[in-house]
Amino acid sequence: MYSADHKTTYFQKVLVRSRDRLNFTSTSPSNFKTTYTEVLEGKHAVRWITIPNSLYNINSTNNQFYYDIGAGNVLVTLSAGNYTGQTLAVALQSLIPASTVVFEPLYSKLRVTRAAGVTLTPVTAQKVMGLQLNLAPTVIAPAAATYLPNTVDLSVPLSLGIMVRESGGPGYVTGGSPNRQGTLIVPMLASFSLFNFLSDESDHKQFLSFPTGVKQLSIEVVDPSTGVTVDLNGVDWEMMIERVEHYETPNKRPRHE
């Protein structure tokens, strides 16, 4: 005689792709919503995540600042791209009238000189991925070579975070980051060409949990250290999640003739 009940396992595989996002032309692969025909409910294991490394160290989060040469603030914008300290200095010098800008590799700082002086102020005050000019207005005295107070950080993150929320309601996400609860972490490969997570090759398993059931997700790709949305420059990415749950189901009793 067989037992009346036994445990079975149900697998629900869901491919999450940024190219399937709602309002494709007006949203970015870094911040979007996506819908599914089948309800997502319960605990889902993250099987893999693949994000091409298309990041610029100077981008829309950190490429604007003001200068003031006595007539009020003037907004300038650096072109997005990957900069070294030297190329950054050249670009800034071209934007600030009658100035000399030098990158000092020993200190990783920019030195600015201008005959009539100048005040520099970043548009974004907090440190974000890439360039950090300074956290407060910096006055460059006339004819004085003045270092901007903070070091210039031109690195890109060694990992990315993916924040997944139930769209239109509270977020139910578990696992991932020691810094930001509810953020999946995707490390950079040694080749720097790809951010990649494979569950089978990682000792750190990651999960998403949807207790109430949902058909629409809100997804954001961020720098895990700051929570700032990164700019993927229009490059799409994808991940696979899989529900693994156990249910009690009746088993057939064989009849004895």
SS (H, E, C) 99-141: EEEEEECCCCEEEEEECCCEEEEECCCCCCCCCCCCCCCEEEC
Q: Given this structure, which CATH class describes domain 5-55+157-250?
A: mainly beta
Q: What is the pLDDT of residues 138-151, one digit of tens each?
A: 777 777 778 777 77
Q: What is the pLDDT of residues 181-193, one digit of tens each?
A: 368 999 999 888 9
Euclidean distance between CA atoms 109 and 22, whole angstroms: 42
Ranges of each domain in the chain: 5-55+157-250, 64-147
For residue 103, give every residue at least 6 positions away whose Cβ sits within 8 Å of its Cβ, in sequence order, or none.
Answer: 84, 85, 86, 88, 89, 109, 110, 111, 152
Containing 90, the helix (H) or strand (E) segment is helix 85-95
Distance CA 10, CA 169 (A): 26
Find the helix or strand (DSSP H, E) in which 250 lies. Answer: strand 238-250
Q: How confident is the model at residue 94 (pLDDT cuts 50, 70, 90)?
A: very high
| pTM, two decimal places | 0.73
Tell me, what's the pLDDT at 252?
43
Hunting for tokens 């107070």 — which residue is that?
A: 149
Among the residue ranges 235-239, 242-246, 253-257, the one predicted with the least confidence is 253-257
Q: What is the pLDDT of residue 17?
A: 97
